[in-house]
Amino acid sequence: MTTKDATYNYAIRLGDNALILGHRLSELCSKGPILEEDLALTNVALDMIGRAQALLKYAAELEGKGHTEDDIAYRRAEINYHNHLLIEQPNGDFAHTIARQLYLSVFEYLFFTELEKSKDATLAAIASKTIKEVKYHMQHAIDWSLRLGDGTAESHKRMQKGLNDLWMYTGELFEMDVLDTYLLHQHIAVDTIALKAKWQSEIEKILREATLTLPEDTYMQTGSKKGIHTENLGHILSEMQYLQRAYPDAKW
Amino acid sequence: MATDTQLDLWEVFIQSKSGLPYIHSGSVHASDVKMAMQNARDIYTRRGEGTSIWVVPAKHISASNPDDNDMLFDPSNDKIYRHPTFYVMPEGAKNI
Amino acid sequence: MHNEHSDTHFQSRIDNGEHIEAKDYMPEGYRKHLIRQMSQHAHSEVIGMQPEGNWITRAPSLRAKQILLAKIQDEGGHGLYLYSAVETLGVSRAELIEQLQTGKAKYSSIFNYPALNWADIGAIGWLVDGAAIVNQVSLQRTSYGPYSRAMVRICKEESFHQRQGYEIMTTMMRGTKDQQAMAQDAMNRWWWPALMMFGPHDSDSPRSGDAVKWKIKRETNDELRQKFIDKTIPQAELIGLTIPDKNFKLDEKTGHYTLSPINWEEFHRVVAGHGPCNKQRLDHHIKYHQEGAWVREAAEAYKVKTAKKELVTA
Ligand SMILES: [Fe+2]
Ligand SMILES: [Fe+2]
Ligand SMILES: [Fe+2]
């Protein structure tokens, strides 16, 4: 493994997280609980797709085969996607979407704050742009968690269910494999294990204020670093890749 | 249907550059001030239109009554001495 | 002394080119016309999110996906500006939504057509937004202040919508045979409905008279339609698209294009609810409106609770 290869894979992982979350959030367009919220979620989706573009472009450069970010985004097989399982989970109801946003945005805030110190200048630059966006996503998720948790009995129930249903996918956020460790030693990657306690206490604090409870410990699902996904990703990709696959010679 | 809520109406004022006045941009619906602020940001500053935002619950804004326009605004029409152009300056006077 | 609450005084203000503001006196007919026209416009922007939304997750490049998403977001924003403008006349957004969902209020029939292939996204931006902007530019000078201000903002944002649509059409016409066929297919399906967007001919448009007198509408349906036709046909020809009309020709004397008659029967059928997507569009709107009810209720409940808490701690 060279640093370049490893960084390529690292950029793909981060890029896929943004790509697939952007996909999921853009599914919500015209489905918001109120028009204003429709526009708010679209803004988050746009941030994600923009981030995906930057990261996958960087991956394409590192790969050095003359591919574009679109080739990478649209032309891989499912097993070569490495987004977290949490991200590909369906939107569910609004509470479910907010629960996913809460888990992720708090994680991303901690993650990119560290990545900003990366020795890899491109990743560090992307991270510092991302932090500004993520702060906003996190505020949005926290505010809605409070409203739903401490709103009506129904919203409380739905929010708690969203949190519980997704809990088993949160363990993966903090996994480190050989590649992560390799890049960590070179001060390129983030030590996610070190983020876990902080993340959990942040989430716990927010949930307490929202009159919600941290889900009980359970078996944590894993697989995305090896390309083993839930059944959801295949459907996302068959939709996303449709035109690129059906008309491989076309330029868009 | 009648019980449906679309949340409260807020008015949004945006300052486009520091030093410039806040100008009414439009409205948003929101249930609390944080939501109003975020919505205003998402809706009225998507193209870098602003550096600062005010949101005000619409119910707290009072507007003058157009029926009072004569009384309110006409009396200032003849106070021309409030405008600098009213005054005659000697030829050659500069920067005054 | 003039009577500020008389229709003659109102009309003289209009004739003077003044803007009317929410609290100013206005004849009931003017108010009603505004509510109908602005809410229809707002609903069109919101329902219009659906056909384009149909392609977001299948957009063929990251660039295309961002552009489309930002464009649809703008349309939602336009709906919002216009709802706010109607609210100045004392009709709440909740009431407006109810009118839409019960069929009391209409939206532009164009959105009852399906977006079937990727070139439809091009055709919608180029033709549908293109037709809309002709109307909207004219409406910036409409006599009702809040409407006029909303339209100024909308027109600023609209300026990229038509361009991105035309760019898609251009790219596809320069692309593979399949892409060219998709573009022409989209052109064939959207051309006539886009022309119908301007509404019936002036001679068959009963309300046009008042709307023009009150300067709500600044130009007539036929004038606006002709403007659109004259600027769009050369754009189509430039990239090699065929106008789906065997009889269209340029009248050298007037400089205007003439076309075959518009199929008004189709127009009236779609307005009456029998377009390909009428039911689907409304069902979608109702479904997500209803699914959002518990979220809005939660936000309200949270507001009340936190207000109480603040009282206690204050
Ligand atoms: Fe539009
Ligand atoms: Fe629009
Ligand atoms: Fe538009």
Burial of A128 (0-12, 13-18, 19+ CB in 10 A): middle
Interface test with A, best of B7, B10, B25, B38 (most A CBs within 10 A): B38
Whether A146 has its CB under 8 Å from any CB of chain B: the answer is: no
CB atoms within 10 A of CB C261: 7
Q: Are C81 and C265 in contact (CB under 8 A)?
A: no
**Among B38, B6, B47, A145, which Cα is nearest to C86's?**
B6
In the numeric block, the tokens 């932090």 are attached to A131
Q: What is the mean pLDDT of residues A115-124?
A: 98
**Among A250, A233, A49, A32, which Cα is nearest to C117's?**
A250
Q: A1 falls in which pLDDT band (50, 70, 90)?
A: confident
Phi, psi (degrees; rounded to nearest 5) at A50: -60, -40
Chains with ≥3 CB–CB distances under 8 Å to B: A, C
Distance CA C136, CA C148 (A): 10
Residue of chain C nearest B41, judged by CA positions: C77
Distance CA C168, CA C161 (A): 11
Q: What is the CATH number of domain A3-246?
A: 1.20.1260.10
Ligand nearest to the CA of residue C160, numbered in listed order = 3
Distance CA C134, CA C225 (A): 8
- B32 with C302: Cβ contact below 8 A: yes
Beta bridge partners of residue B9, listed in sequence order: B29
Q: C1 falls in which pLDDT band (50, 70, 90)?
A: very low
Q: Are C172 and C180 in contact (CB under 8 A)?
A: yes
Nearest CA to CA, how far is B81 from chain C (Å)?
Answer: 27
Within 8 A of C284 by CB-CB distance, chain A residues are: 30
Distance CA A120, CA B19 (A): 39
The letter for the amino acid at C186 is: A
The DSSP-derived string for A172-185 is GGG---HHHHHHHH
Q: Are A93 and A77 in contact (CB under 8 A)?
A: no
Distance CA B38, CA B26 (A): 14
Q: Name the helix (H) or strand (E) containing B2.
A: none
Chain-centre distance for alpha carbon C76: 11
Beta bridge partners of residue C250, listed in sequence order: C257
Whether B19 has its CB under 8 Å from any CB of chain C: the answer is: no
CATH class of C7-276: mainly alpha
Beta bridge partners of residue B13, listed in sequence order: B24, B54
The DSSP-derived string for C136-197 is HHHHTT-SBHHHHHHHHHHHHHHHHHHHHHHHHHHHHHTS-HHHHHHHHHHHHHHHHHHHHT
Q: Are A84 and A250 in contact (CB under 8 A)?
A: no
Distance CA C151, CA A133 (A): 30
Nearest CA to CA, how far is A116 from chain B (Å)?
Answer: 25
Q: What is the mean pLDDT of residues A176-191?
A: 98
What are the tens digits of pLDDT across the range C105-148?
999 999 999 999 999 999 999 999 999 999 899 899 999 999 99
The answer on pLDDT for C279 being more than 70 is yes
Query: What local confidence, expressed as pLDDT, does residue B2 receive?
Result: 44
Mean pLDDT computed over every residue of chain C: 94
CA–centroid distance, residue C62 to ligand 3 (Å): 20
Give me the residues of C, 125-184, that contact B with CB < 8 A: 149-150, 153, 157
Q: C212 falls in which pLDDT band (50, 70, 90)?
A: confident
Percent of chain C whose predicted confidence (pLDDT) is above 70: 97
- So what's the ipTM on this one? 0.96
Q: How is residue C274 annotated by DSSP?
A: I
Within 8 A of A34 by CB-CB distance, chain B residues are: 6-7, 29
- A36 with B31: Cβ contact below 8 A: no
Give Cα separations from C198 to A94, B3, C133, C159, C187 (angstroms).
38, 36, 11, 19, 18
Distance CA C163, CA A187 (A): 45
Mean pLDDT computed over every residue of chain A: 97
CA–centroid distance, residue C161 to ligand 2 (Å): 8
Of B5, B27, B28, the CB nearest to C297: B5
- C84 with B27: Cβ contact below 8 A: yes
Q: Are C34 and C21 in contact (CB under 8 A)?
A: no
**Among C89, C140, C83, which Cα is nearest to C107's?**
C83
Interface test with B, best of C80, C156, C285, C309 (most B CBs within 10 A): C80
CA–centroid distance, residue A146 to ligand 2 (Å): 33
The answer on pLDDT for C208 being more than 70 is no
Q: What is the mean pLDDT of residues B7-25?
A: 95
Of B9, B31, B46, the CB nearest to C299: B31
Q: How is residue C112 annotated by DSSP?
A: G
Distance CA A52, CA A50 (A): 5
Chains with ≥3 CB–CB distances under 8 Å to A: B, C
What are the tens digits of pLDDT across the range C66-117?
999 999 999 999 999 999 999 999 999 999 999 999 999 999 999 999 999 9
Whether C293 has its CB under 8 Å from any CB of chain B: the answer is: yes
A35 SS3 class = helix
Beta bridge partners of residue C20, listed in sequence order: C144
In which order are the strands placed within the sheet that holds B52-57? B22-30, B8-15, B52-57
Distance CA C235, CA A161 (A): 54
Within 8 A of C299 by CB-CB distance, chain B residues are: 7, 31-32, 35
Distance CA A148, CA A140 (A): 12
Within 8 A of B34 by CB-CB distance, chain C residues are: none
The full set of domain ranges for chain C reads: 7-276
Whether B38 has its CB under 8 Å from any CB of chain A: the answer is: yes
* Helix C177-196 vs helix C130-139: crossing angle, to nearest 10: 40
The letter for the amino acid at C288 is: Y
Q: Name the helix (H) or strand (E) containing B22.
A: strand B22-30
The answer on pLDDT for C2 being more than 70 is no
Distance CA A17, CA A85 (A): 9
Distance CA C215, CA C14 (A): 7
Of B34, B43, B46, the CB nearest to A36: B43
Q: How is residue B82 annotated by DSSP?
A: G
Of C65, C72, C295, the CB nearest to A49: C65
C217 SS3 class = coil
Q: Which stretch of A14-28, A169-183, C4-18, C263-277 has the lowest confidence by average pLDDT? A: C4-18
Q: Are A56 and A72 in contact (CB under 8 A)?
A: yes
C74-93 burial, b at 16+ Cβ within 10 Å, e below that, comes to bbbbbbbbbbbbbbbbebbb
Distance CA A153, CA C298 (A): 9
C7 SS3 class = helix
Interface test with C, best of B7, B27, B32 (most C CBs within 10 A): B27
Q: Two tokens at C128?
A: 């549908």
Phi, psi (degrees; rounded to nearest 5) at A36: -55, -40
Distance CA A69, CA A251 (A): 14
What are the tens digits of pLDDT across the range B54-73?
999 999 999 999 888 888 88
Within 8 A of A49 by CB-CB distance, chain C residues are: 62, 65-66, 69
Distance CA A206, CA A159 (A): 13
B&C contacts, CB < 8 Å = 58
Chains with ≥3 CB–CB distances under 8 Å to C: A, B
Distance CA C97, CA A113 (A): 43
Nearest CA to CA, how far is B38 from chain A (Å)?
Answer: 8
Q: Are B80 and B39 in contact (CB under 8 A)?
A: no
Distance CA C76, CA C44 (A): 10
Nearest CA to CA, how far is A170 from chain B (Å)?
Answer: 27
Q: What is the mean pLDDT of residues B73-82?
A: 87
Q: What is the mean pLDDT of residues A215-221?
A: 96
